[in-house]
A and B are shown apart, each in its own frame.
Chain A
Amino acid sequence: DAKTTQPPSMDCAEGRAANLPCNHSTISGNEYVYWYRQIHSQGPQYIIHGLKNNETNEMASLIITEDRKSSTLILPHATLRDTAVYYCIVLIQGAQKLVFGQGTRLTINP
């Protein structure tokens, strides 16, 4: 699986958009970008995934650059409940094993 690089921490004001970057310069053609988050003392939660097109669901948007070497997770209107560690994971479909790196600790401030 390709390696990912994320900033260790970020802050965002409540109500604003939170933009979380992820670099994955060694991604291969059949690898997807997945985002999960883990709120303190809870199990990880799936957010969104994509291959090369931008994706949007009820939780977030995922923007993948044309060369696929980086992506950005966007939480459009962050709330205090979005404070969590966010993990960007690159893996093939059917990898079965999720491997979480260090992630980005996002703090939403009132």
Chain B
Amino acid sequence: NAGVTQTPKFQVLKTGQSMTLQCAQDMNHNSMYWYRQDPGMGLRLIYYSASEGTTDKGEVPNGYNVSRLNKREFSLRLESAAPSQTSVYFCASSIRDWDNEQFFGPGTRLTVL
């Protein structure tokens, strides 16, 4: 099993550009999450999907949209990137909703100029 995979690994955007971060898991997990990690800030939850067909806002959803395309895939879209969105983005999954044992992907390092 590949676990949780994320693409791309690195990305540089200009302010105002849009892009979609892709995440996929092959563990048949029901729940998926998007976090961002900034230096000295720890992880902050952006959006999560408790199960296929549902999405909910997390702690810092502004400026982002998500799509749970199917059980395997959960994408994060930046419609108009801002320098404040420069961060490392992690996707995670868990077997079920309300499960604190989460499996993380390798991350996407995004820089917005």
Interface residues of A (CB under 8 A from B): 32, 34, 41-46, 49, 91, 93-102
A45 to B107, CA, bound (A): 12
Interface size, chain B (Cβ < 8 Å): 24
Q: Give a binary string over B33-72; 1 marks a CB under 8 Å from any A CB, 0 the rest.
A: 1010000001101001010000000110000000000000
Known: A43-B105, A94-B100, A96-B48. 11 other contacts (CB 8 A): A32-B100, A43-B106, A45-B104, A46-B103, A49-B100, A94-B99, A96-B31, A96-B98, A98-B43, A99-B43, A100-B42
Q: Which residues of B contact A (CB under 8 A)?
A: 4, 31, 33, 35, 42-43, 45, 48, 50, 58-59, 90, 92, 97-107
Q: What are 5 A-B interface contacts by the 8 Å CB criterion?
A: A42-B106, A46-B103, A49-B101, A96-B98, A98-B45
